[in-house]
Amino acid sequence: MTYKLSPWSLTDLFPGLDAPELESAFNDLETQVAGFEKLRPQLKADMLVSRFLEIVKDSEESTKLANKLYSFASLAFAADTQDQSILALLGRIQQFMAELENRTLFFSLWWKDLDDSNAKRMLDASGDYRYYLEEIRHFKPYTLSEPEEKVVNLKNVTGSSALITLYDAITNRYTFNLEVDGETKELTRGELMVYVRGADADLRAKAYQELYRVYGADGPILGQMYQTSARDWRNENLTLRRFASPIAARNLGNDIPDEAVDTLLAVCKKNAPIFQRYFRLKAKYLKMPRLRRYDIYAPLVKSDKTYAFDQAARIVFDSFNAFSPEVGKLARRVFDENHLDSEVRKGKQAGAFCASVTPEMTPWVKLNYQGHADDVATMAHELGHAIHSMLAAHHSVFTFHSSLPLAETASTFGEMMLVDRLLAEEKDESVRRDMLFRQVDDSYATIMRQTFFALFEKQAHEMVAQNASVEELSAAYLENLKEQFGDAVEVSDEFKWEWVSIPHIYHTPFYVYAYAFGQLLVLSLYQQYKAEGEAFKPRYIKILSAGGSQPPEKILAEAGIDIRSEKFWQGGFDVITQLVDELERMPV
């Protein structure tokens, strides 16, 4: 059979927006939660462990149903951000979930409050729920009283969550005009960004200028949304919950020690000169005295090579199969069950993601496939995510999702396997060289770029607390870029609006360091794979299969990795340095 570009089907969740099953799900969930509320008097320090575990099991069932409802609405929204009935459903579900969360809040509050010896009694018998239950207790020092927690939840629906939905709705309807071959085209952001990776230097510049013309026009408003959401983050996490810093709230959620994150960011910052060296080399190849920020993703060879969707799917399956046929089979499941939205449509959310709803269900993957080499890489990336969660499907709904810092392991590893496959098949030396350059481009984009976003977020959250204006934040962002690129890259003024165009820093503050974490980790794992071959595979599968059932530090320690050590992180950069050394030795 031939794989074709298509929207996904959400019928494995619900048959449609008007389906009676959707209403029944609301009702069932309501009934389950009402039943759960009745259990409240049974929660006692000396209760039977078996009773406690039954209650956890009940809440697992409700969580699955809630995940299905929520995913149905948010996936439908991603597929069409402009449909009013989807927006209405999403709003209804957000409201409904917040109310349910409030009604069931007593359980986690009781659990956090339970004395250590009784908690140990329950934990020792809790099997796969253990880490989930431990994680809840980690938040004990930062938890408010039940009525306060309820107010926070309810106010988030119309406050910070609504603000972010609004940010998405505003920015996803942007269109961009670009003159290509004498003809002005109206493009989505995804379509515009193709020109940034194109061979035409003038178009690269114009594409970026157009991107930031549009974002810049709304810059003051988008910036104000960011200020508001950063203030909300601080009000909640520092003023009310007493976290030590804005990033500490994310670190605890990731269960990564603050020191490990500090070490990661510091080592990354120290290694910025490697990429500056690389950009100087790239300028030579592009015959430019100095690279402009517009040019950092420029290809070395003028290649208009595109991959038909079916061809891309097969290359990606092959590269997974070469690692393990079992892994390849998992990737195919996403296609075969029609859980893939691959085509580009107006109103569809830009970018790509993988959503895992429950352990039993094959994940859903969103792409905006346009046939370029990057799109093939993105396909391998998102399918890597899907494989990760399918390998962890034997865990509970609470423990099958890996925590954020490990979340990019399989995706990045999948991309590297793809590149190896493409390199092995490519005979043309200049195309091979271009692919090696692209590998460093990608490392730049996932490690250095994301690190400097995280550094900016740290700074921006402090600046907002000091009442900085949007103008001042933009100036700080421009400084951040200049530090990142040194004198190796010329950064023009419109890049001061880049930060308002990064959805992650709005959606999930401080998420971005997980990319640097993941990529450096994978560089090191991939070295191990190349050195050890077959012997490495079970260790890797074990890391993925653990999902989120253990602390990330422990999962990695079992694979011989110490995330607190500077040396470990530097090891990832040593791989990149070798690659840049090799490229510098090649005759230009």
The closest of 57, 37, 58, 61 to 110, measured between CA atoms, is 37
Phi, psi of 354 (to 5 degrees): -130, 130
CB of 354 to Zn ion, least distance (A): 7
Q: How far is the CB of 366 from Zn ion (least distance, A)?
A: 12
d(Cα 401, Cα 404) in Å, to the nearest integer? 9
Kindly state whether residue 126 participates in binding Zn ion, applying the rule CB under 5 A.
no
Closer Cβ to Zn ion, 60 or 374, answer by number: 374
Shortest gap between Cβ of 367 and Zn ion (angstroms)? 12
Angle between helix 429-443 and helix 409-425 axes, rounded to 10 deg: 170
Q: How far is the CB of 444 from Zn ion (least distance, A)?
A: 16
In this complex, which beta carbon is closest to Zn ion, that of residue 25 or of residue 514? 514
Q: Of 335-343, 405-413, 494-502, 562-570, which segment contacts Zn ion by CB under 5 A?
A: 405-413
> Quick one: 114 or 365, whose CB is closer to Zn ion?
365
**Tokens read off for 172:** 């996803």
Minimum separation from the CB atom of position 316 to Zn ion (A): 15
* Using rule CB under 5 A, residue 403 touches Zn ion: no
Quote the CA–CA distance of 46 and 36 in Å, as a whole number. 19
d(CA 385, CA 331): 10
Q: 497 vs 511, which CB is nearer to Zn ion?
A: 511
In 171-328, DSSP assigns E strands to 176-180, 183-187, 291-292
Closest CA to 416 of 439, 400, 398: 439
- Site for Zn ion, residues 484 to 523, rule: CB under 5 A: none
Q: Return the closest-CA partner of residue 528 out of 553, 552, 560.
A: 560
Instruction: Return the closest-CA partner of residue 329 out of 317, 341, 340, 319.
Output: 317
Contacting Zn ion (CB under 5 A), which of 378, 411, 443, 450? 411
Closest CB 153 distance from Zn ion, rounded Å: 28
Q: Which range binds Zn ion by CB under 5 A, 27-35, 40-48, 172-180, 410-418? A: 410-418
Measured over all CA atoms, what is the biggest interatomic distance in the chain, rounded to whole angstroms?
77
Give least dist CB 408 to Zn ion, A.
5
Q: Minimum Å distance from CB 331 to Zn ion?
A: 15
CA distances from 141 to 135, 136, 411 (A): 12, 11, 34
CA gap 90, 76 in Å, rounded: 9
Asked whether position 409 contacts Zn ion by CB under 5 A, the answer is: no
CA atoms 574, 322, 430, 376: torsion sign: negative
Q: Is the CB of 411 or the CB of 545 nearer to Zn ion?
A: 411
| Nearer to Zn ion (CB atom), residue 126 or residue 411 | 411
Q: Is 370 in the site for Zn ion (CB under 5 A)?
A: no
Check binding of 378 to Zn ion (CB under 5 A).
no
Specify the stretch interacting with Zn ion by CB under 5 A; choose among 112-120, 148-156, 337-345, 408-416: 408-416
Residues that bind Zn ion (CB under 5 A): 411
